[in-house]
Structure formats: C-alpha cells, structure tokens
With several copies, the nearest count.
Chain A
Amino acid sequence: MAWFRKTRRKKPAAEKEALWVVCPGCKAHIHKDKWDPGLNVCPECGFHDKLTCRQRIDLTADAGTFEEFDADIAAGDPLEFSDARGGYADKAAETAAKTGLKEAVLTGRCKLEGITVVLAVMDFRFLGGSLAGSTGEKILLASDHALRHKFPFIVFSASGGARMHEGIVSLMQMAKTCAGIARLHKARVPYLSVLTNPTFGGVSASYATVGDLNIAEPGALIGFAGRRVIEQTIKEKLPDDFQTAEYLLEHGFIDRIVHRRDLKPFLSQVLNYWSRS
C-alpha cells in the first residue's frame, strides 16, 4: 500500500482536483463523475453546496424560457463608501468582472413546468449575496411585474445580510422589498420563498421569511444574528443544529425542507394549488 500512497501523493494537484471533488460538508473525496456540477449536492452526505444564480435558473426554469429583467441595473455607490482596502465602487466593479454579474440578484420571468413565474435568484458570490440598493430595486421591480400580471413570485435567497457599504440605503431595502411582498399578499398573488445556505440578517429579516410558504434546502443555515455574535452575547456554546433549516422547521418557521433535486417539481406542485378565480 505504501507504493500506492506514494503514487497518490505524487499526483499533481491540478490533476487530482480535476478528478475528485472535495465535499465541503463531509470532506469526502467524491469522484467527479458522481458529483453533478449542476446540482452541487454531495452524493455521500447530501450537503447542498452553493449554486450560482445561473445554475439555479437552469435547475428551475424550463429550458430556454428565462427572460432576464433589468440586466442593466448595477450596484450603485450611494454613500461613496471606502474602507481600508479602498473604494466600494472598485470592489463592486471587480466582483462584477470576476462573476459576470452586476448585482447579487438576477431577476426575470420564465416558465416553470409550464407555469409563468417571476424569479429573483440571489448569488452569494456577489459580495456575499448582500442586499443593497440595486438588489432591493431589482427585487421590487420583479415583484411588481408579478403583481401586474398576477404571476407567482419566487425568490431564492442566499445572503449574509445587508451590504454595509451602502449603509442605510441597504437597510431600507428591507422595508422596500417587504412593501412589494405586502402588495402581493393583498392581491392574492402567490409568493414563495426558498431559503438556501446561508440566509441571514437583512434578508432573513425581510422578504425571505414572509413567503406564503417558506421552503428551505436541507442543512441551510438561516438566522437573524450570526452564531458567533450570539455566542459572544450569551456566553454559551450553541447546539450544532442551531439555525439549520431542520431547527427552523421544528420551531415553526419553515413549511418544508426540500432536496434540491425535488425543488422544481415541488414548486410547480404548490403553484398548481393556486386558483386565479
């Protein structure tokens, strides 16, 4: 076995990476043929790794039906914010160049198993999926489109919270997006919230938790304050399952935990219960 070990050790890292995926959940090395990169779920432990918004749309929209809204809306810089590492505008531009995204959310319209829906999909790669002025604006515009046409509205959240580089403008997006949701509730237009790992702060405390149904992916961490902040405050260790989707289900805040591969049929099943009469 020594020889085999040696050989493995000698393998160039690049080649090894190409062949094996290391699961961020169980740390197992999964052969890439077994790891579906579109789904990004560990076949061993079921860990749901993050998806890009494009991956999410591919999993959700019927092929070729997604029409993006407001693709031109990019992160602004209302505070002309800069920190130790420089200006926020530069940072946002850099992130945009790296990710090909202009904001932390992609919105648009598509068919979902034949039903026209409006989607808003957050992308954690864009500054931690943070909620900022133009994020909120895109979400409100999308919910407004849903309202006008009575299309169901579905949001996939993945966010560390509000984007502090936009300060109070970012905070106000909580009120702004919730105002859009309130209008959907009043007009009896379905609003489904899908919470994915992680959903915290300004996003969990606004549109993400006021869905007609709050749906979560398995193991997703969801909460208001971060675990470390809470541990510092209460000077206690928190249980392992604290703030997991399963914990929230038990505490009454999540309707269903749905495995990623079942999510699309689940959403369509739910929407089939809605009658427009």
Chain B
Amino acid sequence: MELDFEAPLGDMDARIAELERLNRKPDADFNSEIAALKRERDVRLSEIYETLTPWQTVQLARHPERPVFADYVERLCDEFLELHGDRCFGDDRALIGGFARFGGERIMLIGFEKGKTMDDKLKANFGMAGPDGYRKALRLMRLAEKYGLPVVSLIDTPAAYPGRDAEARGQAEAIARNLTAMAVLETPFVAVVTGEGGSGGALGAAVGDAVLMLSNAVYSVIPPEGCAAILWRDASKAPQAAESLKLTAPSLRDLGVIDEIIPEPPGGAHRFPEAAMDAVRDAVQRHLKRLRRMNVRRLVDKRFEKYAAIGKYDNRKYAQH
C-alpha cells in the first residue's frame, strides 16, 4: 500500500527498478545513474519523513504493513507461550499475552493483535478488544506479579470494541478495573506504543512505569476523524484535528506522557520492520534493566508520581503511600 505523501518515492523506486532491469543487459552500464538516483531517493525519503504532518503520522501508524504483535513475537521472542482465557467468559483474540523470552529476559508479554491477513484481522476483531481481553490481560499481569516477571505491553489498537455484547459484559468496568490494578501492580511494567494508541482501549493495558513510543506511532484520546466530526462538524477535517490533538511522539514526550521515543528508520516501520522491531527490543531491554533494579515499593510509588504529574496543577503534594 502506498500512502499519498509517499508517491514521489514510488516514482523514483520505479525508475530505479527500470534502470536496474536495463543494466542487466550485456554492455549496459547504468551503475552511476542508479547510484545517483538511489541517493536522490534516500534524500527525498529523509525529507518526507523529517517533515511528516501529524495526519501523515496517523496514516503511518495505521499502515497495514506495519509490524503487528505476531511479528514482534516472531522477531523478538526466543520463546512465546501464549496463555488463554479470562477465567470468566472467553478468550479474546484482540488482546493476547503469555510468557516470553525477550533477548534473554523472562517477561510477561501482552499486546494487541491486529492481524495481517483478512482472516487474522477478522479473528482479532481488527485489534479491538472486549472486556474478556482486558480481564485476561489483568489475569496475566497478576500472574506476572506472582512469578516475579516484568510486564511488557505492546499497544496497537484503534479502540476498545464499541459493540453491544462488549457493553453488556462491562467494557467500561473492565478497563477501569485494569487501570486501578495497574496503578499498584507490584512488578515493573513497560508499555510500548507501536502503532495506534487508541484512547481508553489502549490505556487499559498501558499504565507503565516506562511508556515508550515508536516515532511514527500515535496515541490519542480520540481518533482525529471522530474529533473533527464533533468539533469541526466535518470528518474530513481530520488533518486539522490530528494537528490540534498533539498525538505524535514528540508532542507526547513534551507533555510528559511518554518517556522515550524509539526512532524508526527513515521510511518507517512498514518499510523497515526489522530495524524498527530491533529498536523496540533494545529500548525495552534498557528500561527493564533500569526498572528491575528498583525496589518494588519504590517502583509503585514512582509510578503513582508519574501519573499524578500529568495534568498537575502546581506543587501540591500527595500523601506518601
């Protein structure tokens, strides 16, 4: 899939491919032309990726070729032992998790699966979890606490599923219970927004000690289209809304919501998935190392302070826990 703003790159890639085809003929020598064109393409790529608008970033964050949970498992985990079920009603396929080894570290890995093929996507409900998913995630977090494992959560969901059954079975309550539990979970917790951080649906598995974000991921209280429909009364004003919502990684870092931006290679994670995923691994490992050294009590206190500081009014102090 080619995004609008990537079109010049596509043209250049096509010309490079054509020259490379011609170059295979005997006596042909387009080597210098090809090299020049490639340099030009790389410069253009960098230009485009250095000046992305928030709306373009939204499109990248949703890019169908961007690595999904299964890709991370495949590339980063030496072992992944999926655990099923919420011990209550079902086994959500949009929010999954299990024991994992992640560059030598034993962790509890949870995350949203969007799926790659249409079959996968349907099974995973396009990454939109229901209450069963949030309840399963909570069960796995508690298991992590018992087994002394840090939690790593990969966030990539458009939203919690807005369905009839999800409401009937307590979508709101399931997310709220997770938020309350994560706040005092006695084990290190690293969340990485790898794609779409879709509102409460994302936050319901993302109350981390460290919240990291890929450079082309987004994290927002509402999708820009929804925001535009309400505040501009025109869904096509999504680009303006995306601008206003400050949903890109640099803005979120400035707002104190995320702790670190994990840079994707110019061209993005959909073009260079392996490099992007490796960067995620390195960042997660670095933070796990740091968090594992902390005493659990202090860890939980620090987590409280982190969230208490967002939207803080002044220097009023909270009680020591």
Direct contact between A and B judged by beta carbons closer than 8 A: yes
Interface centre among A138, A183, A190 (most CB of B within 10 A): A183
Is A94 engaged at the interface, CB distance under 8 Å to the other chain?
Answer: no
Whether the pair A162, B84 counts as a contact (CB closer than 8 A) is no
Which A residues are CB-close (under 8 A) to B181? 182
Contact with A along B153-171 (1 / 0, CB 8 A): 0000000111110111111
Which B residues are CB-close (under 8 A) to A147? 319
Whether the pair B163, A137 counts as a contact (CB closer than 8 A) is no
Whether the pair A269, B246 counts as a contact (CB closer than 8 A) is no
Which 6 pairs show the lowest CB-CB distances between chains A and B? A133-B311, A225-B162, A252-B85, A178-B179, A179-B183, A204-B172
Contact with A along B248-273 (1 / 0, CB 8 A): 00011001010000000000000000
Is B111 engaged at the interface, CB distance under 8 Å to the other chain?
Answer: no
Whether the pair A172, B307 counts as a contact (CB closer than 8 A) is yes
- A144-197 residues at the B interface, CB under 8 angstroms: 144, 147-148, 162, 164-176, 178-179, 181-183, 185-186, 188, 190
Q: How many residues of B contact A (CB 8 A)?
A: 81
Q: How far is the CB of A248 from chain B (nearest CB, A)?
A: 8
B interface residues with partner A (beta carbon < 8 Å): 79, 81-91, 99, 106, 132, 136, 143, 146-149, 160-164, 166-173, 175-177, 179-184, 199-200, 203-204, 207, 219-222, 227, 230-234, 237, 240-241, 244-247, 251-252, 255, 257, 303-304, 307-308, 310-313, 316, 318-319, 321
Interface centre among A212, A214, A225 (most CB of B within 10 A): A225
Interface centre among B162, B172, B232, B247 (most CB of A within 10 A): B172
B255's partner among A78, A162, A209 (CB-CB below 8 A) is: A78
Which A residues are CB-close (under 8 A) to B89? 251-252
- A205-263 residues at the B interface, CB under 8 angstroms: 205-210, 212-214, 222-226, 229-230, 233-234, 236, 238, 242-243, 247, 249-256
Would you list 28 pairs from A and B whose C-beta atoms are within 8 A, ordered by A residue? A70-B313, A70-B316, A133-B310, A134-B313, A138-B313, A141-B316, A164-B222, A168-B257, A172-B307, A174-B203, A202-B221, A205-B173, A205-B204, A209-B170, A209-B176, A212-B143, A224-B172, A230-B162, A230-B164, A242-B167, A252-B85, A252-B86, A252-B89, A252-B90, A253-B85, A255-B84, A273-B81, A274-B147
